Amino acid sequence: MATNYSAKDYNKENMARAIGRSLPISFKPSTEICNFIRHKSVNYAKDVLSKIIEHKQAIPFRRYNTNLGHKRKIGPGRYPKNASIEILKLINSVEANAQFKGMNTANLVITHINANKAAKAMHYGRKRSRWAKRTNLEIVVQEKAADKKSDKKEIKEGKKNFGEQKKEGTKTLGEKTPKK
């Protein structure tokens, strides 16, 4: 069965993807985590999620923050442990998919990650009147090109040389023009 992804412009050569269907996590914290780690490197995202699980770093809640407690330096935030565990599993899965394709896992960047509400299910047994929390997650990573820091240094050095050159016939401050 083919899986439909909401991510557009998928390139099979330098991208990998994974999907989690009907995960038993809340939708709102999942959305906040996805917004926080989008466009970050995979290693950074894994580090942040492990800190969240240990309650060492909080996720800032930008959208779903009604009556939410203040956290130092970030404002309203929480430590969504269960959602972090499931998203970390999904990131490990997409990293394994990228490694299977032959990509360098050190240069992976999360280009697309989102959470959607899954199909509703009732709790089993005594809590039958409650709906279970379910969320669909999808993630797409892309292999980033090699570091461009060396190119930037060369450009800056070129600018220094350009500024030091002096054209003939031009005067600088303090020089007087000869009288004729």
Q: Please tell me the predicted confidence (pLDDT) of residue 138.
A: 97
Average pLDDT of the chain, as a whole number: 88
Q: At what angle do helices 42-53 and 27-37 cross, to 10 degrees?
A: 140
Q: What integer is the mean pLDDT of 22-48?
A: 97
pLDDT at 10 over 80: yes
Q: What integer is the mean pLDDT of 103-114?
A: 96
pLDDT tens figures, 49-105: 999 999 999 999 999 999 999 999 999 999 999 999 999 999 999 999 999 999 999
> What one-letter code names the amino acid at 32?
E
**Cβ within 8 Å of residue 74, ≥6 positions away:** 58, 60
Which of 132, 164, 177 is closest to 24 using CA atoms? 132
Going by pLDDT thresholds of 50, 70 and 90, the confidence category of residue 7 is confident
Which of 28, 3, 40 is closest to 138 using CA atoms? 3
The model carries a pTM of 0.78
Going by pLDDT thresholds of 50, 70 and 90, the confidence category of residue 17 is very high
pLDDT at 178 over 60: yes
**Structural domains of the chain sorted by starting position, each given as residue range(s) with its CATH number in brackets:** 15-152 (3.90.470.10)
pLDDT tens figures, 133-156: 999 999 999 999 876 665 566 566
pLDDT at 26 over 60: yes
